[in-house]
Amino acid sequence: MKVLHISIFPPKWERHAETWGVASYTKNLITNIPYNESDNIFILCNKINWKKDSYYEDWINVIRCFDKNPFFFFQLIKQIIKIKPDIIHIQQELSLYGNIITAYILQWLILFMRKYKVLITLHWVVPIKKITKDFIKENNSKLPIWIVKTVFRIIYVPICLWAEKIIVHEKIFKNALIEDYKISKDKIDVINHWIEDLKLKNREESCKKLELDSNKDLVLFMWYATWYKWIDLLIDWFSEYSKINSNAFLIIWAGKHPKLFNDKAYLEEYERLQNKAESLIKENNFKWIWFIEEKSIVDYYSAADVSIYPYTIQMSSSWPMAISIWYNKPFLASDVFKESIDDNILLFERNSKSMSDKLDFFFKNREEYNDVIKNMREEKLWNKVWESTYYFYKN
């Protein structure tokens, strides 16, 4: 069997990418699927520094052939025709291949290549009922609601109709595709986001390395600064909580989103958030970090007591939340995750008091959280993900 993957991909021999969680997901997926010896595996992925490249990583033929712009359509077709795969597995997220235009163009690639049996994993699904005035405002858009809803339907419906099979990571996304986009439930399967078997370091050593006080109650927020992660309110909430618990310390790893480096409005908002944190939270109660090297991620999770995700909407499986589970590290999340997380001990309502109460409860009942995360981790074992994916290929 000849299997062709299409996605962005980490640099050679690296497992995690600094720019996008989907790249890391794809790398781990491809390298862990239990292929047969007779299978031929290819990955068509993004160029690095605008340069084409082709090489092997173990048994995987890596072909760096496309730019993240509308020309990716022709660059991919050229390689697909040359390879003639049995199965094409595409990873999709709204801006994964460039922007909203490339998200639209992707459907025509799927239609053009239908004879090869196309399987697509949707990492990002926006429920139509969640598209409100607040949703549009938080996305820095002034378009009418009906236009935004129409755009999402135009992007998702053809992709789902023309693909042979659709994979999503949460039941909430399957329900959204069925109810809001009218996709047949028989085409959609839920495969949980995989859990990697990673080990934490010694907490005191990690704190020392990162110049953090190990005697503090350390709370970690991690990943790119985007509207739906609600950093604005996290700052408000934590400023109030730190008055109750003066020993609490918030680590804000909020990097600038790679696709918005040159967006003036975004950069102004980013600077506003930094200034707000400095003005509302005392210096000995928080630290803002705009960049973390891959090798240092384990130190931050090892140092932190708990990670926190105050999101306003669930449109994808949270990559940093997955990392928390990898490391058996407790986390707290807003109630937008209630359809994906069964245990209410992990959830708080989206207001200052609820988050403060939940953090206070956590620091007084830490052992209870360790068991919850351990059970969640076992439910998402990586081998189930790889085996389920290969099952689709074979059938």
- The region that residue 117 occupies, defined by phi over 0 for left and psi between -120 and 50 for alpha, beta otherwise, is left
- Name residues whose C-beta falls within 8 Å of residue 348's C-beta, 6 or more positions apart in sequence: 332, 333, 334, 335, 354, 355, 357, 358
Mean pLDDT of the chain: 87
3-class SS of residue 244: helix
**Smallest Cα–Cα separation from 250: which of 239, 262, 265?**
239
Residues 27, 159 within the same domain: yes
Q: What is the CA radius of gyration of the chain?
A: 21
Q: Name the pTM for this structure.
A: 0.74
Top mean-pLDDT range of 80-84, 130-134, 306-310: 80-84
Query: Which amino acid, 221?
Result: F
- pLDDT band at residue 205, thresholds of 50, 70 and 90? very high
Is residue 89 pLDDT above 90, yes or no? yes
Residues 75, 98 within the same domain: yes
Residues 375, 257 within the same domain: yes
CA dist 167 and 194 (Å) reads: 13
| Strand ranges in 207-278 using DSSP code E only, listed in sequence order | 217-222, 248-253
pLDDT in tens, 249-288: 999 887 776 666 677 877 888 888 889 889 999 988 999 8
Is residue 18 pLDDT above 60, yes or no? no
pLDDT in tens, 238-250: 998 998 899 999 9
Task: Give the domain extent around 252.
Answer: 203-379
3-class SS of residue 317: coil
In the numeric block, which tokens belong to residue 200?
């934490």
CA dist 132 and 130 (Å) reads: 6
Residues 214, 103 within the same domain: no
Residues 217, 354 within the same domain: yes
Residues 246, 349 within the same domain: yes
Number of domains the chain contains = 2
Average confidence (pLDDT) over 202-231: 86
Predicted pLDDT of residue 32: 86
Residues 178, 278 within the same domain: no
Predicted pLDDT of residue 60: 95
**Is the CB of residue 43 less than 8 Å from the CB of residue 7?**
yes
Query: Which amino acid, 228?
Result: Y
Is residue 380 pLDDT above 70, yes or no? no
Average confidence (pLDDT) over 369-391: 78
Q: What is the CATH number of the domain that holds 18?
A: 3.40.50.2000
pLDDT in tens, 288-304: 887 777 778 899 999 99
- Name residues whose C-beta falls within 8 Å of residue 295's C-beta, 6 or more positions apart in sequence: none
CA dist 391 and 53 (Å) reads: 31
